[in-house]
Structure 1
Amino acid sequence: MDIKKISDLISEKLTYWLESLIKLLPNIFLAVVVLVLGLFIAKFIRKIAHKLFAKVSKNITLNNLFSSIVYLTVIGIVIFTVLSILKLDKAVTSILAGAGILGLALAFAFQDIAANFMSGIFISFRKPLRVGDIVEVKDYMGKITEVNLRDTVMETFKGQVVIIPNKEVFQNPIENYSHIRKRRFDLTVGVSYGEDLEKVQKITYDAVKDIPDLSEEDEVKVFFTEFGDSSINLSVRMWVNTPEQSVYNKVGSEAIIRIKKAYDANEIVIPFPIRTLDFGIKGGLPLNEVPIQISNGTEKKQ
């Protein structure tokens, strides 16, 4: 092995690298300047973006998320610009290709998480429900306590905490009882066929019209709905001035008590269900006419 040839080869390589570095010094200086300025610009843009998103959405988590996405996007542009200045185009291409493949793999692996995440973003903008609203979603009814980017937390009226994925909230019907800040209570009552219906209607209305916590803007409605099996049924519709479940139940209970007292005072009958029993094989025989088989084979009536 020739030591002189080896030393000449190393010297030649070092000289080439040094010359390339000297030629690249202006680009390195420019890249450093671009990087420093880019970091300051990215922070400034993040602050501006946060203020703009705060005007659109009151969700602090969502605003921080979007402002961070804007910040990282600007940082990415700065990094790619610096690499281009340093003539590392192949590195830029490799990074982009790797990022695309990684993003595709993550999309398949975490598609449910991504679906819940995107649904949370849409919910934050559309606002079909808010914290404190009384809603019914996916057979669950209760008060919303949290609306996160991945799930919605509800406390049911039985004291249970239900965590519903945002995809289920976004893709299913939502019954929001707090949207108009009041709730309607419907009560069905049955009276005897022999009653004076106009009198019943007036007595029912007078009994419930001044219940506390009823909405002053909406009048109580009392109207007959159908001929039942053993009664004529009427519906009492009252608007409660709050969506709160405790007040809603209280108004309903008070209405039942008042109607029962008013009917008793005016001798209005609330009939029990009536059933006619037919004991004949072919029909038409009451119990006292059904023959009884006795031991000697003869029959006698009761």
Structure 2
Amino acid sequence: MIDRFTEKILQIWDRLLDLVPALVIALAVMVVFVILGKLVYLVMSKLLDRRWKGSLIAGFVAQVFKWLVYLVGVTGAIDILGFGNMLSGLLAGAGIGAVIIGFAFKDIGENFLSGILLAFNRPFKNGDIIEVDSYKGTVRDLTLRMVHLRSAEGKDFFIPTSYLLKNTVINYTRDDILRLEFIVGISPEDDIDRTRKLILDHLVKDDNILDYPGPKVNTKELGEFTVDLQVMFWVDITVNRKTADEELGHTIRSKVITEVKELLDDAGVSMPSQVLEHRMYKDERFRIEQTGTQKDG
């Protein structure tokens, strides 16, 4: 019994010794193809990024080529070890396993496919300010599985790509220009045309505001106690990149609001607050009676 066991061990050892040269060659092939795959990824990334800068396409195509090189290396190494027939059998019987794995990783696969569609559709890029449902912020990172948004409040949103594909995406900065607006309420007694001209003349002189599309001041509402003017202007968000991406445009808006307020104050244009007026239409007097008892001191 011991002799048979010893003989079996020696046979396995001899087989391992016979596999040593093939194993060394297979490992060398794997190392070569891993290095080659990384080089292919770097070269493809640089070449494709020139055409699709800031897009998922460059990274996705480069990843595909890298993993194809890896696959060739693994297949060659397995064939060198003499397990090529076994690999063919495993691949042939992998159909049922693929179905099971597909159900198990359904969400991951859905996000991956959505990432591929977004890569070729390219609705936004890194640095764009987008809004999806209730999530708004600057695109910080794009992957095939999720998108990283940073809000103006400093919140980080990691949104699955499938969620973006199923919902409406609003891109505020696709053309690198952004429209800002605010409301000014003036007194009904003030001259609307004069006030509009004052604001427009000031906006035209501001270097931060674009000449085209030009600024506008429209009469928006005739309220109960004010006439509301809507001030609209466009800014180029790429001019000052020292400002945080999520704050682009908002600092200019704050500056313009302050300057318009000071301008209207100097011009004597009043911006009244809400005033409630109570009138008595009947000649009646109110009688006020004191209730309760008061003890003498």
Identity of aligned residues (%): 24
5+ unaligned residues in a row in structure 1: which ranges?
1-35, 80-85, 297-302
Tell me the distance in 1 between the aligned counterparts of 2:45 and 2:144: 19
Q: Deviations over 1:1-53 (max 9, x none)?
A: xxxxxxxxxxxxxxxxxxxxxxxxxxxxxxxxxxx9xxx9xx99xx7xx9699
* Matching residue within 120, 125, 131 for 2:115: 120
Show the counterpart of 1:196: 191
Mapping for residues 95-244 of structure 1, pairs under 5 Å:
95=90, 98-242=93-237, 244=245
Tell me the distance in 2 between the aligned counterparts of 1:210 and 1:219: 11
Mapping for residues 1-302 of structure 1, pairs under 5 Å:
55=48, 59=56, 60-68=58-66, 95=90, 98-242=93-237, 244-277=245-278, 289-295=285-291
Q: Deviations over 1:107-129 (max 9, x none)?
A: 11111111111111111111111
Q: Quote the offset at 1:143 in angstroms.
A: 1.9
Q: Deviations over 1:70-106 (max 9, x none)?
A: 5588799999xxxxxx9x7x995x6455311111111
3-state DSSP of counterpart to 2:93: helix
Structure-2 change in CA distance of 1:289 and 1:101 (3 Å): farther
Instruction: Determine which structure has greater relative contact order: mean sequence separation of CA pairs < 8 Å that are 6+ residues apart, divided by chain length.
Output: 2
Tell me the distance in 1 between the aligned counterparts of 2:188 and 2:52: 58
Letter in 1 for 2:288: I
Tell me the distance in 1 between the aligned counterparts of 2:200 and 2:114: 46
TM-score for both structures, normalised by structure 2: 0.67
Q: Quote the offset at 1:164 in angstroms.
A: 1.4
Q: Quote the offset at 1:57 in angstroms.
A: 5.4
Structure-2 change in CA distance of 1:169 and 1:71 (3 Å): same
Report how many residues are paired.
243
Whether the 8 Å contact between 2:152 and 2:247 is mirrored in structure 1 is no
5+ unaligned residues in a row in structure 2: which ranges?
1-28, 78-83, 239-244, 293-297
Whether the 8 Å contact between 1:138 and 1:168 is mirrored in structure 2 is no
Structure-2 change in CA distance of 1:112 and 1:247 (3 Å): closer
| Greater radius of gyration (CA) | 1
TM-score for both structures, normalised by structure 1: 0.66
3-state DSSP of counterpart to 1:212: coil
Letter in 2 for 1:110: F
Structure-2 change in CA distance of 1:57 and 1:248 (3 Å): closer
Query: Aligned Cα RMSD in Å?
Result: 3.8
Whether the 8 Å contact between 1:226 and 1:233 is mirrored in structure 2 is yes
